[in-house]
Structure 1
Amino acid sequence: MHNKYVVEKTKVIVVEDLKQFVTLCQENPSILLKPELGFFKKFIESFGGKVSKDKEFFEKSASDESTEEKSDEEEVEEDENDKDDVEEEEEDDVQEDEDEEEDDDERCKDFMVEETIECPPLAPIVDEDLSDEVLEEISNLKIEAAELVQDNKFEEALEKYNKIIAFGKPSAMIYTKRASVLLSLKRPKACIRDCTEALNLNIDSANAYKVRAKAYRHLGKWECAHADIEQGQKIDYDEDLWEMQKLIEEKYKKIYEKRRFKINREEEKKRKKREKELKKRLAARKAAEKAYKANNKRENYDSDSSDSSYSEPDFSGDFPGGMPGGMPEIII
């Protein structure tokens, strides 16, 4: 009966105290180095355990555990975030590949490559007025050039316009007509240069805008083509250019939508990145607070342990006849 009483009291009181003591040892293992707990150290070693004699080892282990420990939920969440990032990058790569394929398809029709040969020379700077003889010759060259264009003899027509411009003081119209011939010869770079020169002479030259828009269209530069065709049609509307204008507007709209989509996608990426970084900072702050509280708890315990006024726990009342079997008193 006496032994049964001891066992029951141990379950109710001593076991709970023992649990608290073990928890405290886990949070602050360095207390196992206290001399008065030597018996408990021997007890651990009797089962094959080992208690280090280095106090710094315990402090470092406790610190690392409190600062680097992550919950299973946090690890799962990070894995899911990383997986989402990879999937988004793969989707972006696929979308970019599709965009490039679409761009290639758009450029296959009537696409021109910028020529490598030099552009025809511009007009020389002439201070004096052109003579009547020169003006008459220029007039004849214009007629001949126009006839050659009608016969699709563009190389010969180009020579005529080169001669006209070589006299000096050409009009914006002459530059525009030579630009049109150059485009027929699949020389878009020279065409654009002549149209730009024509607009330098006359900013309101509708034909210069329209011809340059055609050149940009054949180069696949839809944004430049859109700006020029809009301006040219605004100055002098030509219904014969409606089909080309419609095509340019469709391509321009598609480019604009793609660019808007990419901008929105990049903004969404940045937003998610900021949210992810914020979560990491909050998790780090939470871990730091946890480590700080654990450290304070250890310091408070050490302070209480060294306090002479610390009252020793009395287990004698729990056991009839005092502590069992010569069990030493424990001062933590």
Structure 2
Amino acid sequence: MPGVKIPEKQLTELRAFVTLLKSQPSMLLLPELQFLKDYIESLGGKIPSADIPKTEIPKSCPAHESHKSSKPAEDEEPELVESDVELDQTGVIEPDNDSPQEMGNPDQEMSESDEEKLSEIRQQATAAFADGDYEKAAGFFTEAIQLNSQSALMFAKRANCYIHLNKPNACIRDCNRAIELNPDSAPAHKFRGRAHRLLGNWEEAVKDLRLACKIDYDDQANDWLKEVTPNVSAFPYFIW
């Protein structure tokens, strides 16, 4: 419907659920999903007729409950099933509590001279990052953001600097802004997923890293995803 904006969190969870259905289409035969099955068939879609393999549905899945059907409250968010196994907290760090970083002026318009200066600053930032001077690189990217605060890429690149500086909260702030500017920014989802991993936010990390790989597959993002997945049980099954 024109004018209706779906929250990004709900879109992320919906994408994950669709991915699950693609890998296990027989789940559409569950009584709880009859409404979805009817809708798909009304559009001309075909639903697999195979029986639902009992071993594919974990005990925590609503499919093992009796024919309960409850409609979620409109303001409720889907809740992920939490893991019963002991979490591996290796690599989790203390959160950074620095003041929020410079985010630029969204109303500022760039002049021709600003564009030339921005190109030079980006080169300096890239060189500093390549030299391993992430603090200096973050400073250059901040200057770039001050010139053009509408660039999702600049926020994502500075977020990467904050990852290397062990500042996950600063990274998340930059990634949030980058995703506001461009919801399909794979680097922003990738680095935000890594930041959540450093903070021990496993479910958020899995969501972001899976989405990053879906938008634009990246070997490093996939490696990071493999690292955090064992700490999340039964994802992405939902309890409504």
Shorter chain as denominator, the TM-score bin is 0.5 to 0.7
Kindly indicate whether the alpha-carbon contact (under 8 Å) linking 2:212 and 2:221 is maintained by their aligned counterparts in 1. Answer: no
Cα displacement (A) at 1:182 = 0.9
**1:87-113 per-position Cα deviation (integer Å, ceiling 9, x unaligned):** xxxxxxxxxxxx79x33xx21x22121
Kindly indicate whether the alpha-carbon contact (under 8 Å) linking 2:189 and 2:208 is maintained by their aligned counterparts in 1. Answer: yes
> Root-mean-square deviation (CA), in Å?
2.2
Q: 1:240 to 1:115 in 2, by over 3 A?
A: closer
Give the corresponding residue for 2:110.
Answer: 130
1:146 and 2:123 equivalent?
A: no
**1:147-202 per-position Cα deviation (integer Å, ceiling 9, x unaligned):** 11111101111111111111243310000000010111111001001001000000
3-state SS in 1 of match to 2:233: helix
3-state SS in 2 of match to 1:253: coil
Q: After superposition, where does 1:1-332 map in structure 2 within 5 Å?
A: 102-103=86-87, 106-107=88-89, 109-127=90-108, 129-253=109-233
- Give the TM-score taking structure 1 as reference length: 0.44
**1:81-136 per-position Cα deviation (integer Å, ceiling 9, x unaligned):** xxxxxxxxxxxxxxxxxx79x33xx21x2212111111211111325x31111111
Give the Cα separation in 2 of the matches to 1:212 and 1:110: 16
Cα displacement (A) at 1:239 = 2.6
Q: Which runs of 5+ in 1 are unaligned?
A: 1-98, 261-332
Kindly indicate whether the alpha-carbon contact (under 8 Å) linking 2:106 and 2:150 is maintained by their aligned counterparts in 1. Answer: no
Give the Cα separation in 1 of the matches to 2:106 and 2:216: 30
Paired AA for residue 171 in structure 1: S
**1:278-329 per-position Cα deviation (integer Å, ceiling 9, x unaligned):** xxxxxxxxxxxxxxxxxxxxxxxxxxxxxxxxxxxxxxxxxxxxxxxxxxxx
Paired AA for residue 209 in structure 1: H
- Identify which of structures 1 and 2 has the higher relative contact order when contacts are C-alpha pairs closer than 8 Å and 6+ apart: 2
Cα displacement (A) at 1:249 = 1.7
- Give the TM-score taking structure 2 as reference length: 0.60
**Divergent runs of 4+, >6 A:** 254-257
Paired AA for residue 219 in structure 1: L
Cα displacement (A) at 1:254 = 6.9
How many matched pairs?
A: 156
Q: 1:131 to 1:249 in 2, by over 3 A?
A: same
Give the Cα separation in 1 of the matches to 2:234 and 2:198: 17
Of the structure 1 ranges 137-146 and 230-239, higher mean CA displacement relative to structure 2 is found in 230-239
Cα displacement (A) at 1:223 = 0.3
Paired AA for residue 177 in structure 2: E
Give the Cα separation in 2 of the matches to 1:155 and 1:240: 22
Give the Cα separation in 1 of the matches to 2:185 and 2:120: 24
Q: Which runs of 5+ in 2 are unaligned?
A: 1-83
Give the Cα separation in 2 of the matches to 1:249 and 1:169: 34
Kindly indicate whether the alpha-carbon contact (under 8 Å) linking 2:103 and 2:149 is maintained by their aligned counterparts in 1. Answer: no
